[in-house]
Every structure is written in structure tokens, then in C-alpha cells.
Amino acid sequence: MIGIVLGTRPEIIKMSPVIRECERRGIDYFILHSGQHYSYEMDRVFFEELDLPEPNYSLDVGSGTHAAQTATIMTGVEDVLVKESPEIVLVQGDTNTVMAAAVAASKLQIRVGHIEAGLRSFNRRMPEEINRVLTDHISDYLFAPTETARGNLLAEGIPERKICVTGNTVVDAVYQNLDISRRKVDVLRDLDLAPREYFLVTAHRQENVDNRARLKEILKGLDRVQKEFSLPIVFPVHPRTEKRIQELGIGTDGLNLTKPFGFLEFLQLESQAKVVLTDSGGVQEETCVLGVPCATMRYDTERPETLEIGSNILVGADSRRILEGVRSATAWKSGWQNPYGDGIAGKMIIMVCAAARPQ
């Protein structure tokens, strides 16, 4: 049996190919949802939209400090793992859910498989960096998306036999779910948008939205972009970001602030945007796969491959750099080679897990 533990929107999306492969092969598995994202719009709607089975277990941990949230997840995960006794627990990414589930499983002597292993920003001030490093070093199977990620793991002394380069499940997810989105939604029509004639924005990172000065600079940069290009800026607002914007009392007249979209709608918006501005790691990957320029509002990234191939540019939280980055990105020609694989990562991961089962 495989235990699949997830807790946030990106994890649901990137685990969807793994879940579908388990279904296709008839493998015994269960889904445990920590509830780290705790609103219907931010996570549960994705199970419905992506035609995925409902989680077998939901912890509904909600918000809290990093320590409190992690501890609550560990306790809940441990209870389920003791009950189910899976052979392998799969986690994906770098959230508190990932680290908590990996630690709980490891202490119960249950093997851990870390999907998207080996990503490094080399910035220990990021909570996500601590989560991904700790998870990698207690995992039994490290599913690295690229050779760069594999090199990071080897440089930290992780045995080569534990590492498998699979590509990134984001490629599988984009291909599979873009097909679903075309059948179910038409968000450009609903918002009266023309392809390549709008910008798309996401912002949720703690270092951006909880820092008043940085958030003000980001909003100033978006305002400058809107005034120069005279194109709509669609900004689906994360609940934390919305709260901070209200606290700042800054005018956002030039922005089309919306509630968070479902993934199918968001994927369509990504695929047709002129440029996407984001601080999300997953969005950097998705735009790369879709052939859409990305401007990342951070000063470092654990997705260096996107910088190397020219699909992404770092603009930080500086209004001048944001405008300059968008100017540059609008001139790019798509056609870069996607570094994240050919869309079979989910199959490779389950194949490794199945081969590792005790006889």
C-alpha cells in the first residue's frame, strides 16, 4: 500500500498524475489531506475539478505558526499511518505538510518517497528551504525532477542509489489537466480577455506579503506595468495577500483583483497570458512548460533551470526591476526546451514504488 500525503494546492496538482497512475494500475493507496490550505477555493475544489477521488483522511489543520502547524500535522499523520501501515509514504514539494509527514513516517520505520527532491534556493531564511532539505535527508527514495536537482543531492552526500531522475510531475499535470480544462471552462470569455493581451499575477510568499515595504513595492511595480502597457492585470488574490493589502490601505484601481480561481481556469489564464508575474515555484514551472514568459518576484529561485533556458527572469520586490523585467519578457520568443521531462514522471515514480515492494 502507498500512502499519499498532501496539503496544498500545488501538491494536489502535482500529485494528480501519481494518483491517476495508482488508479490505472490498480495499486492499493490512500490519500491523506492535511488541510494546510484551509479554504474550499484554495484546495478542496481541485479534487472535484481534476476528477480525483476525495481524500480518505482529512486533518483540517488550518493556519498557525510553523511549529504549531507542523506538530499538528505530525500527530494526525502518525495516527493514520499506524492505522493503515503503508509500505511507502509519498510526499511532494517543500511545505510543512511534506516535512511533518516525512518525519512521522520515518520515525515509524515506514519508507518515504520525496517527489521533487533536490530543489535548492540556497537561502535558509526561506522556511521552504529548511523543509525540503530535511525531507530529502530522511527520505528513502528521492525523485529528482532534473539533473541539477540530482547534483544538489549528491553534493550533500545523499547516496546515488536513493536518487532517481524522473522529470517533474508538473509536466504530466499540465498536459493532462489542460485537456480537462478545455472541456470544462472558458475563463477568457468569462473575463472578456483576449489571448496574449493581459498579464497574470500571483503573490503569496511570506517574505513578500508579510513584509509591508516589499508588498508596497510589488503593488507599485504592477501599477507601473499597467500604466505603461495599458493591458488588464488579472490578480487572483491569495487570502493572506488580500488581508495584507487591506491593512496597507493601498489603492489597486489598475488591477483586476479576483478570488482564487480553480486550477482549470488558472491553467487557461496561464497558457494565454502575455507575461505571468509570480512568487510561486510551481507557476515558474507551469509557465515554462506552457511556453509563457515568467517574471518572478523573488531574489532567488530553486528553479534555476527556468533562468538558464530563458523562460523566467528574477525581478525581486522592486518596482523598477518589475517594470524592466516585464519589458524584457514581452520581447521573448517562446520555443525554449522544457527541462522538466516528457510527461511520464508519475508513471516512473509508481514503477519505482511498485518494484520496491517486499516480495
| pLDDT at site 358 | 54
Distance separating alpha carbons of residues 85 and 67, to the nearest angstrom: 26
Closest CA to 121 of 134, 130, 112, 113: 130
Predicted confidence (pLDDT) per residue in 145-183, tens digit: 999 999 999 999 999 999 999 999 999 999 999 888 988
What digits encode the pLDDT tens for the residues 51-90? 899 999 999 888 788 999 999 999 999 999 999 999 999 9
- 137-140 long-range Cβ contacts below 8 angstroms, 24+ apart: 138/102, 138/103, 138/106, 138/112, 139/102, 139/112, 139/113, 139/114, 140/88, 140/111, 140/112, 140/113
| Catalytic annotation present for 238 | no
Q: Which of 33, 66, 114, 204 is catalytic?
A: 204
**Residue 133: which pLDDT band, with cuts at 50, 70 and 90?**
very high
Residue 297: which H helix or E strand, with range? none
Position 332 pLDDT exceeds 60: yes
- Rounded distance between C-alpha atoms, residue 213 and residue 100, angstroms: 32
Set out the domains of the chain in order of their start, with CATH numbers: 2-168+341-355 (3.40.50.2000), 177-330 (3.40.50.2000)
